[in-house]
C-alpha cells in the first residue's frame, strides 16, 4: 500500500491509474482500487461516484478557477486574452505533476469510456467559461466561440506539453496554441 | 409501424428517437426499437453496434465530407476559411430535416450517455479536420486549433439554428460563429 501520499483521494487516484495501466479499465473493480489505496470500498464511493470519476478529481476546482479568473479580469481586457490567461494560469498547477499527468493521459487515450468522460468534463469547462464571458457582457456567438478556443488551447497545449521532450511550461504551450489560432484568424 | 420512410436505417433512427423521447433512453431496449421500425433485432445489430449509434447515423459520412472538402480546397485558401466552408457545406444537408434534428438534439441534451457519444463523434470530426489540414501543410499547433475552431463553429452554429425561431440556414449560422471568433481574434 502506497503511504507516501498522505491524502486518501490522491491514493485512490494513483491506485486507479496503476490498476488501469496494469490490467485495463474494464478488468478493474472499485474494490481493487480501494484495497490498493488502503481504504474501504464505502470510503471510495463517498469520494467518487464511479470507476471513471476517480481520474477526474479536481475538475470542478479547475472549472471554478477558470470561471473566477474570467470574472476577475479587468473590464477592458480582450475576451480571448481573458480566457487564455485563465486557462494557462489554472493548468500551471499540473506543472509539478507532469509524470502523473502523462500516465493519466495515456490511460485515458487507451480507454474510450474514459475519453468520453474527459470530453464531458471539457464541455462543462467550456460552458462555465462561456457563462462567465456572457456575465462580462460578451455577446453570443462570441462568448461560446471564445470559450471553445480557450478549451481547445487547453487540450492542444496540454497534449503538446505531454508529447514534447522539452521542459517548456504547460501554460506556455496553452498560450502558444491560442496565439497560433489568433495568427490564423488574422489571415 | 412507420412506413412513410422507405429505408430501414432511417426507420430505426426515427423509432429510437421516438422511444427515447417517450420513455427515456435507459428504459428503451434495442428489441423495442427494432419492433417499432419493423425489422428484426438481428437486422438492428447489422446496422448499429449499440443503443447509442442509432442516433449517430451519418457521422462517418460527415467526417469524410469535411475531410474531402478540406483536401480539395485551393492551395492558397486561408485555413480557417477552408474549415469553415467545409463544415458549413457539410451541415447544409440538415436543412431539410430541421424538425428531426431539433428533436434529436433535445433527446441528446437530456441523456448524458448520448451527450458523451456525441462529444466523441465531434472529437473524431475535429481530428479528421486537423489531419486534412496537416496534409495541406498547415503546421501544428495551427492545424489542431483551426480544427477546434471549425468544430466549435459547427456546434455553436447548429445550436443557434435549432434555438432560433428564424429560418436562417444552418450553414449561415456556422459561418457567423466563425466570423465572430475571427473578429474577437483580431481584437
Model confidence band, residue B6 (pLDDT cutoffs 50, 70, 90): low
Quickly count helices (H) and strands (E) in chain B: 9, 0
Last residue of a domain, one of B53, B73, B90: B53
Which positions in chain B touch A180 (Cβ < 8 Å)? 141-142, 145
Q: Over 50: is that where the pLDDT of A3 sits?
A: no
Residue range B157-173: mean pLDDT, rounded: 90
Say yes or no: A137 contacts chain B, CB-CB below 8 A: no
Distance from CA of B92 to the nearest CA of A (A): 19
Say yes or no: B156 contacts chain A, CB-CB below 8 A: yes
pLDDT of residue A187: 80
Q: Is residue A95 part of a domain?
A: yes
CA distance B133 to B66: 11
Task: Spell out the residues 6+ positions from residue B42 whose beta carbon is closer than 8 angstroms to its own.
Answer: none
Residue range B138-166: mean pLDDT, rounded: 95
pLDDT of residue A164: 86
Same domain, B48 and B81: no
Same domain, B78 and B135: yes
Residue range A141-166: mean pLDDT, rounded: 94
Instruction: Give which of A68, A63, A62, A12 is closest to A37, Cα–Cα.
Output: A12
Residue range A135-162: mean pLDDT, rounded: 97
Cell numbers found for residue B115: 451527450
ipTM above 0.95, yes or no: no
CA distance B140 to B80: 14
CA distance B141 to A173: 9
CA distance A14 to A58: 14
Q: Over 80: is that where the pLDDT of A1 sits?
A: no
CATH number at residue B157: 1.10.357.10
Q: Over 80: is that where the pLDDT of B62 sits?
A: yes
Residue range B76-86: mean pLDDT, rounded: 96
Q: Is residue B39 part of a domain?
A: yes
Task: Spell out the residues 6+ positions from residue B46 whose beta carbon is closer than 8 angstroms to its own.
Answer: none
pLDDT of residue A176: 97
Task: Spell out the residues 6+ positions from residue A45 whose beta carbon is closer than 8 angstroms to its own.
Answer: A30
Same domain, A141 and A114: yes
Q: Is residue A101 part of a domain?
A: yes
Q: Do B156 and A144 touch (CB under 8 A)?
A: yes
Same domain, B69 and B110: yes
pLDDT of residue B28: 97
Q: Is residue A2 part of a domain?
A: no
Same domain, B29 and B68: no
CA distance B129 to B147: 6
Q: Do A156 and B141 touch (CB under 8 A)?
A: yes
Cell numbers found for residue A130: 462561456
Domains in chain A: how many in total? 2
pLDDT of residue A6: 64
CA distance B181 to B187: 10
pLDDT, tens digit, 9 for 90 and up, residues B33-57: 999 999 999 999 999 999 999 999 9
Same domain, A164 and A85: yes
Q: Do A144 and B157 touch (CB under 8 A)?
A: no
Omega before B37 cis (within 30°)? no
Say yes or no: A144 contacts chain B, CB-CB below 8 A: yes
Same domain, A20 and A94: no
Span of A113-127, B2-16, B109-123 with lowest mean pLDDT? B2-16
CATH number at residue A44: 1.10.10.60
Q: Is residue B151 part of a domain?
A: yes
Which positions in chain A touch B117 (Cβ < 8 Å)? 116
Say yes or no: A163 contacts chain B, CB-CB below 8 A: no
Same domain, A89 and A130: yes
Task: Spell out the residues 6+ positions from residue B38 whose beta carbon is closer than 8 angstroms to its own.
Answer: B1, B2, B3, B11
Q: Which of B78, B157, B183 sits opposite A187 (nearest CB)?
A: B78
Model confidence band, residue B182 (pLDDT cutoffs 50, 70, 90): very high
Q: Is residue A94 part of a domain?
A: yes
pLDDT, tens digit, 9 for 90 and up, residues A42-82: 999 999 999 999 999 989 999 999 999 999 999 999 999 99
Same domain, A19 and A47: yes
Give residue A31's domain range: 8-53
Model confidence band, residue A167 (pLDDT cutoffs 50, 70, 90): confident
Same domain, A49 and A136: no
Same domain, B140 and B96: yes
Q: Is residue B133 part of a domain?
A: yes
Instruction: Give which of B14, B47, B56 is closest to B33, Cα–Cα.
Output: B14
Q: Is residue B1 part of a domain?
A: no
Across the A/B interface, how many CB contacts are shorter than 8 Å?
111
Residue A80's SS3 state is helix
User: What percent of chain A has pLDDT above 70?
Assistant: 96
Interface of A with B in 7-36 (CB under 8 A): none
Model confidence band, residue B5 (pLDDT cutoffs 50, 70, 90): very low
Phi, psi of A25 (to 5 degrees): -65, -45
Quickly count helices (H) and strands (E) in chain A: 9, 0
Same domain, B42 and B73: no
Interface of A with B in 108-127 (CB under 8 A): 112, 115-117, 119-120, 122-123
Say yes or no: B76 contacts chain A, CB-CB below 8 A: no
Q: Do B141 and A182 touch (CB under 8 A)?
A: no
Q: What are the CB-based long-range contacts (under 8 Å, 24+) for B136-143?
A: B136/B70, B136/B71, B136/B73, B136/B75, B136/B79, B136/B82, B138/B79, B140/A160, B141/A156, B141/A157, B141/A160, B141/A176, B141/A177, B141/A180, B142/A180, B142/A181, B142/A183, B142/A184, B142/B79, B143/B79
Cα angle B134, B124, B173 (rounded to 5 degrees) comes to: 90
Amino acid at each position: 500500500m502506497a503511504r507516501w501520499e498522505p491524502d486518501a483521494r490522491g491514493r485512490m487516484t494513483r491506485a486507479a491509474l496503476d490498476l488501469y495501466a496494469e490490467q485495463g479499465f474494464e478488468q478493474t473493480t472499485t474494490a481493487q482500487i480501494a484495497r490498493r489505496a488502503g481504504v474501504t470500498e464505502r470510503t471510495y464511493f463517498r469520494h467518487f461516484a464511479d470507476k471513471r470519476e476517480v481520474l477526474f478529481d479536481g475538475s470542478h476546482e479547475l472549472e471554478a478557477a477558470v470561471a473566477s479568473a474570467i470574472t476577475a479580469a479587468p473590464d477592458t481586457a480582450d475576451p480571448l486574452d481573458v480566457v487564455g490567461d485563465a486557462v494557462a494560469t489554472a493548468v500551471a498547477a499540473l506543472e509539478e505533476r507532469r509524470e502523473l499527468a502523462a500516465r493519466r493521459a495515456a490511460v485515458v487515450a487507451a480507454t474510450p469510456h474514459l475519453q468520453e468522460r474527459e470530453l464531458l468534463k471539457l464541455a462543462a469547462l467550456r460552458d462555465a467559461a462561456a457563462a462567465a464571458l456572457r456575465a462580462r457582457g460578451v455577446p453570443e456567438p462570441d462568448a461560446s466561440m471564445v470559450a471553445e478556443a480557450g478549451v481547445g488551447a487547453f487540450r492542444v497545449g496540454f497534449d503538446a506539453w505531454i508529447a514534447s521532450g522539452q521542459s517548456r511550461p504547460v501554460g506556455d504551450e496553452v498560450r502558444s496554441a491560442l496565439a497560433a489560432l489568433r495568427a490564423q484568424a488574422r489571415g
